Structure 1
Amino acid sequence: MKAKEQILTLKAYQPGKPIEEVKRELGLTSVTKLASNENPFGCAPAVKDAVMDELDRVSIYPDGYAAEIRDKLAHYLGVLPRQILFGNGSDEVVEMFCRTYLSPDTNTVMAKPTFPQYRHNSVIEGAEIREIALDDQGHHDLDEMYEAIDENTKIVWICSPNNPTGTYVSKEKLVSFLERVPKDVIVACDEAYCEYVVAEDYPDTLALQRDYPNLVVFRTFSKAFGLASLRIGYGVAHEDLISVVDPVREPFNTSRVAQRAAISALDHLEYIEMCRIRNREGMDLYEHFCEQYDLGYYPSQGNFILIDFKTKQGDEVFQFLLQQGYIVRSGNALGFPTSVRITIGSEEQNKGIIDCLSNWLDAESEK
């Protein structure tokens, strides 16, 4: 049996090794995972109680329309309920937009490197993929991305903050871009890490949708809200766009437990503010470390930092840290071969990994 030609070019997602496997293989008693940009503080304590309560109803199908969380989220965001599309993580919402708008006679524009699911799902639909390299500061090159648009372009992807660099698109640059993009081209702005942003010129994309109905915003409960394993994300767009995409959604694509957890999480926004503050404190530690050892890094607005070790391969740094009980992400797989991406952890975790790296670099410099 023959599969689609484009499917044969894809590779299945390869997750990192589980913590227990790393402990067993390396004989370690403690392993800290700082590789997947998860919230090191987890979810708000009250969310756990809501999850436990909902377990009594796991035999009942969830509300396919997700009415309760839809209304609550709409009120929180200041949008209409019918402007929201829920997904099994925001990556499923990405998939739904690709399935709806992309085909072999279309093309899609994105940065490189960026979140790989834009490319992955575009390949599945057979669309032409136009990748534009990030500029020297690790930002989206919006001028070059605009030049790549033609009459067959359906979606332009903007990841802000961008994964893996953590850089963002300012309001001024985004508005300038939206002014030029044809109104029949979707501009998809992925804001998975927006709750961590502290930059004052970060755009209010939901407000911009009033003037630019082709602007779509993706967000998630996986990161700052600490619900990664429950898989619930969403897209916000003009109701006409949502009505077109919604029919491709699977009937029960978000679980009862995920919906209940998200509802509870929105009742405890003070917890998210605490996570944002602690994240920024951790980021300051890593930036100071990079400056102390003359390492390259992109100023990040996410909950991760991409550090360039310059004379070392990312895999080498990854393996060293793994031996010390820290799982990070090698830049070799991210388009930055001499870098590693490290999720900002707790104060103890951040200081632990920085101490390991400092001792290693000091020892190397003495050779």
Structure 2
Amino acid sequence: MSVPSPQPRSVVEQIPVYVPGRPPTPRPGLTTYKLSSNENPFPPLPGVIEAAHAAVDLANRYPDMGNTRLYEGLAARLGVPADHLAAGTGSVALIYHLLQAFCDPGDEVVHAWRSFEAYPIAIASVGAVSVPVPLDEQWRHDLDAMAAAITDRTRIVLLCTPNNPTGPALTQTELDAFLDRVPSHIVVVVDEAYLEFVRLDDAVDGVATYRGRSNVVLFRTFSKAYGLAAFRVGYAVAPAPIAAALRAVSLPFGVSTVAQAAALASLDAHDELMRRVDHLVAERDRVTAALRDQGWSIPDAQGNFVWFGVGERTASFAAACEDAGIVVRPYGTDGARVSIGEPEGNDRLIEVAGSFGL
């Protein structure tokens, strides 16, 4: 006779597995490059390591659960009230928090696809229903189709701009027209993880958009442009009731003392931040131009990565890159995303792409 064992909720078995970008395998005599995780190749900004080291001295104490100084710094930088902010362990944590706060089992969440891989994972974790809307032929959000996908069960719409992993960003005109079509009781997330890299006419002004709408939430992170991926600090900017709901469901003491100190010090190094971002944008544009000269149809790249829509040849392309000492991020049979890294690694990508064949 079998003995019953504990069983997780039925939705747990339906949660897709998150596939992280993996590091390269060491190759004797060959410098390898990890271009699979959209990491910043620069070290932390000036003052960050010193602030983090000082914070380690307080490791015997709990973090400030209210993130008081970090909220003060962000409020001053963005010109928003501190009670319109909510922090989490990376912006991905805030996705989970929002779903916990606003979705009951069976509620629907509309999002583009392919987009950020964590969206369907987080949606499944709360028993909500993922409503993926295919990207258009330019690998952009199809906002008309997304608006048409909204039903009376929709609670949240997720917009990723620039879109990870494909690269294009929304314009303010597009966003405003879409928001006008969304009922005001539905939360619309403008996920701006790659905000600092956008160089686009009519670029989205997230803060102005949230100020003018009672249902718009911005998600931002210190992992990408700021180069604090290992510290896990993200934040939301939202109307006070939504921000309060996010804070209510967040893990107590989630953002560590060291992470708070590092993020705050990063805010103080804004000029150096933008110099580094400008360098990465110039590298992105150089790589994109070189690939297009080879005949590649690279979508508009507004993040710190480029997209190869190679379809059924995705695995072969990733293998060719790995043979050359660079690791990229394949996505099934859709394509591969390649981060902009060190110039030498970027040059290696151009070489591989040129010999791979269209």
TM-score, shorter chain, exceeding 0.5: yes
The aligned length equals 353
Deviates more, 1:194-203 or 1:90-99: 194-203
Matched, 1:341 2:337: yes
Partner secondary structure for residue 271 of structure 1: helix
Q: Which residue of 1 aligns with 2:13?
A: 8
Matched, 1:78 2:79: yes
Equivalent pair of 2:291/2:353 in contact (CA under 8 Å): no
Structure with higher helix content: 1
* Structural mapping, 1:148-159, within 5 Å: 148-159=149-160
* CA–CA separation in structure 2 for the residues paired with 1:283 and 1:245: 34
* Structural mapping, 1:291-330, within 5 Å: 291-309=292-310, 313-330=313-330
Aligned-pair distance for 1:27? 4.3
Q: What are the Cα deviations for residues 292-346 of structure 1, in whole angstroms up to 9, with x where unaligned?
A: 2211211111000002357x711112112212211111232xx61xx32110112
Q: Which residue of 2 aligns with 1:174?
A: 175
User: In structure 2, do the counterparts of structure 1 residues 356 and 131 end up closer, same or farther at CA, with 3 Å as the change threshold?
Assistant: closer
Matched, 1:35 2:31: no
Equivalent pair of 1:40/1:346 in contact (CA under 8 Å): yes
Aligned-pair distance for 1:276? 2.1
Matched, 1:94 2:95: yes
Aligned-pair distance for 1:161? 0.4
* CA–CA separation in structure 2 for the residues paired with 1:16 and 1:168: 22
Name stretches of at least 5 consecutive residues in structure 1 with no aligned partner.
Answer: none
* Structural mapping, 1:1-367, within 5 Å: 1-19=6-24, 22-23=25-26, 26-27=27-28, 29-309=30-310, 313-332=313-332, 336=334, 339-358=335-354, 360-361=355-356
* Aligned-pair Cα RMSD in Å: 1.7
Q: What are the Cα deviations for residues 242-268 of structure 1, in whole angstroms up to 9, with x where unaligned?
A: 122321111100001100001100001
* CA–CA separation in structure 2 for the residues paired with 1:244 and 1:91: 16
Name stretches of at least 5 consecutive residues in structure 2 with no aligned partner.
Answer: 1-5
User: In structure 2, do the counterparts of structure 1 residues 150 and 11 end up closer, same or farther at CA, with 3 Å as the change threshold?
Assistant: closer
Equivalent pair of 2:33/2:345 in contact (CA under 8 Å): yes
Equivalent pair of 2:168/2:301 in contact (CA under 8 Å): yes
Aligned-pair distance for 1:36? 0.3
Aligned-pair distance for 1:194? 0.1
Equivalent pair of 2:94/2:246 in contact (CA under 8 Å): no
Equivalent pair of 1:194/1:302 in contact (CA under 8 Å): yes
Aligned-pair distance for 1:288? 2.0
* CA–CA separation in structure 1 for the residues paired with 2:101 and 2:18: 23
Q: Between the two proteins, what is the percent identity of the paired residues?
A: 32
Opposite residue 343 of structure 1, the aligned amino acid is S
Partner secondary structure for residue 235 of structure 1: strand
* CA–CA separation in structure 1 for the residues paired with 2:298 and 2:351: 18
Equivalent pair of 1:42/1:225 in contact (CA under 8 Å): no
Aligned-pair distance for 1:109? 0.6
| TM-score, length of structure 1 as denominator length | 0.92
Q: What are the Cα deviations for residues 222-255 of structure 1, in whole angstroms up to 9, with x where unaligned?
A: 0000000000001110001112232111110000
* CA–CA separation in structure 2 for the residues paired with 1:348 and 1:74: 38
Opposite residue 52 of structure 1, the aligned amino acid is H
| TM-score, length of structure 2 as denominator length | 0.94
Partner secondary structure for residue 209 of structure 1: helix
* CA–CA separation in structure 1 for the residues paired with 2:105 and 2:16: 20
Equivalent pair of 2:321/2:327 in contact (CA under 8 Å): yes
User: In structure 2, do the counterparts of structure 1 residues 18 and 349 end up closer, same or farther at CA, with 3 Å as the change threshold?
Assistant: closer
* CA–CA separation in structure 2 for the residues paired with 1:352 and 1:130: 38
Structure 1 segments of 4 or more deviating over 4 A?
26-29
* CA–CA separation in structure 2 for the residues paired with 1:28 and 1:104: 53
* CA–CA separation in structure 2 for the residues paired with 1:351 and 1:323: 15
User: In structure 2, do the counterparts of structure 1 residues 15 and 179 end up closer, same or farther at CA, with 3 Å as the change threshold?
Assistant: closer
Equivalent pair of 2:20/2:37 in contact (CA under 8 Å): no
